[in-house]
Amino acid sequence: MVMDAAPPRITVKNLDMSYGDFVIMRDLDFTIRRGDIFIVMGGSGCGKSTLLRVLVGLKEPAKGQVLYQEGSLWEVDEDSRDAILRKTGILYQRGALFSSMTLAENIAMPLQQYTRLPAKEIRELASLKLALVGLAGFEDFYPSEISGGMVKRAGLARAMALDPDILFFDEPSAGLDPVSAHLLDELILEIRDSLHATIVVVTHELASIFAIGNNCVFLDVETRTMTASGDPKELLQNTTDANLRHFLTRGEK
């Protein structure tokens, strides 16, 4: 169990996000603590993927700050930002595997860039990562030759390539069968507990939210802001917000 005393890993302050003049979300304020499995939830199109893009430095916020332990992501210089981001791994919503490389090459690429390991060992690490997500033996397949759920899992393996300190997963279990989804939840918990990583997960999967999440934020598509944050299990017990209640109970009353 993660204690409240765990130091903050990422703090989001007063964050507004917009595309041009179209404001997606305003006034986001929350803290992701070290060792959290932090769930970002909300209706489709409310801006969860956009929030991840802001957190990993792909999109500049309209207003506000993203404070990593090492500094403010949008205020430090380029080199420090690279250094911060090198400790993160990202699974994109659509996998974003490099289509002209095999799965093993996809995972090996960051290792070749950032380490001096010999080719044989890099290959071994790639196999290990694939084995962890249940894709042992698929090293030499191209992304176009595997199924949608497998693309998701391979993307996850690539996100873990450099043993990052913080992992961002955009809907990791979308497209997976219940058994694989459960295995994935186990894997996420295991990564947190064994490698002491901090994990941010965008998901709609209620079972996962309650099984793995120990902290969360709910983005409300109607009010265009966050309406709740904290432990999802406690939120389910205590919330008075009708939209959140609806979300957490699948629309049942």
Partner 1 sequence: MTKKPISQTPPLAACAVTRDGGAVRVALAGDWRMGATIPDVQAVAAALQGSEKPASLTFEAAGVTGWDSRLLAFCLRIMRLAEAAGVAVDTSGLPEGAGSLMDLAVKVPERKGAAKKETAESFLERVGEVALGIGQAVGNLLEFLGEVTLACGNLLRGRAVFQRSQLALLIKQAGLDALPIVSLISLLVGLILAFVGAIQLQQFGAQIYVSTIVGIAMVRVMGAIMTGIIMAGRTGAAYAAELGTMQVNEEIDALRTFGFSPTEFLVLPRLIALVLMMPLLCIYADLMGVLGGFIVGSLMLGINPVQYFSNTWQSVPLANFWIGLVHSTVFGVLVALAGCYRGMRCGRSALAVGQAATSAVVTSILAIIIATAIITVVCNILGI
Ligand X SMILES: Nc1ncnc2c1ncn2[C@@H]1O[C@H](COP(=O)(O)OP(=O)(O)OP(=O)(O)O)[C@@H](O)[C@H]1O
Binding at 129: pick from partner 1, Mg ion, ligand X, none (beta carbon under 5-8 Å per type):
partner 1
Site size toward Mg ion, by CB under 5 A: 2
> What are the strands of the beta sheet with 166-170, ordered from one edge?
71-72, 63-68, 8-19, 22-33, 225-230, 215-220, 37-42, 198-202, 166-170, 88-91
Q: Which residue has the tokens 């956009």?
A: 50
Binding at 85: pick from partner 1, ligand X, Mg ion, none (beta carbon under 5-8 Å per type):
none
**CA dist., res. 218 & res. 220, Å (int):** 6
Binding at 183: pick from Mg ion, partner 1, ligand X, none (beta carbon under 5-8 Å per type):
partner 1
Sort 82 into a burial class: Cβ within 10 Å, 0-12 / 13-18 / 19+.
Answer: exposed
Shortest CB 191 distance to partner 1, Å: 8
x/- binding map, residues 84-103, to ligand X, per CB under 6 A? ---------x----------
Among 45, 75, 114, 242, binds partner 1 (CB under 8 A): 114
- First vs last C-alpha separation in the chain: 31
Query: And the tokens for 105?
Result: 């090459």
By the rule CB under 6 A, 49 interacts with ligand X:
yes
By the rule CB under 6 A, 44 interacts with ligand X:
yes
By the rule CB under 8 A, 141 interacts with partner 1:
yes
By the rule CB under 6 A, 45 interacts with ligand X:
yes
By the rule CB under 8 A, 242 interacts with partner 1:
no
**CA dist., res. 39 & res. 205, Å (int):** 10
